[in-house]
Structure 1
Amino acid sequence: KGQEIVKVLYTNTDFEYLQSIDRDLKDITYDMDVSYSSNRYIEFNHKGVNKGAGLKKLANLLHIDIQDTIAIGDNYNDLSMIKDAGLGVGVQNAAPGIKPDCDYITMATCEEGAVCEVIEKFVLKGE
């Protein structure tokens, strides 16, 4: 009591059910960022609190053009940073719904070295 709520998470392994919660709460969550993660969570954050905003802030603090960033993700809570990055990457086993917004899909899954694949392909470029 008396403390600000920073984030609300609700868990259920039925993704369709989580989406129905999102639809049912639209009237009261219009000013929030709602996303999904780990194939079992629906996340409610303050508007503007998402990974994309975090990436932009980090790039600004480091004086890096956002176009010179790479974001790698596998689920809906990664989508804002994938869209905001210069190169947005989805891993092979990413949620199907985020893949159309990715610039590149790795051959590897998140358990098989997807980050290494991206570094070799786009940072080291075979060097």
Structure 2
Amino acid sequence: MRLLLNLIWLVLCGLWMAIGYALAALVCFVLIVTIPFGFASLRIANYALWPFGRTVVDDPSAGAPSLIGNVLWLVLAGWWLAIGHLVTGVALCLTIIGIPLGLANFKLIPVSLLPLGKKIVETA
């Protein structure tokens, strides 16, 4: 079931959201100071391509720098990506087959807003 949902996700919205994260990463890599944000964006892009069967958990080793970084990320790129997930999630929830995909989009909003200090792990 996860494979089927991931394939449908990839076609309907995963590829486009991953491209959005990749563009954010590219901008972060160009602005040399924000390179850690670029790596976080690429990590989330990978998650946005194939979200079913994986989840986001807090990293216990993250400290104050991740909090400061999350505030900067929120201002620079996070809210744009969250709006993308919100619009795509609402559009997908308009159809019956798209409801699980829309809910997965809503699940990605918190990590798109505050990506530092999070880990993406496989579910059991």
Of structures 1 and 2, the one scoring higher in RCO (CA 8 A, sep 6+) is 2
TM-score (norm 1): 0.27
Bigger share in strand: 1
TM-score (norm 2): 0.28
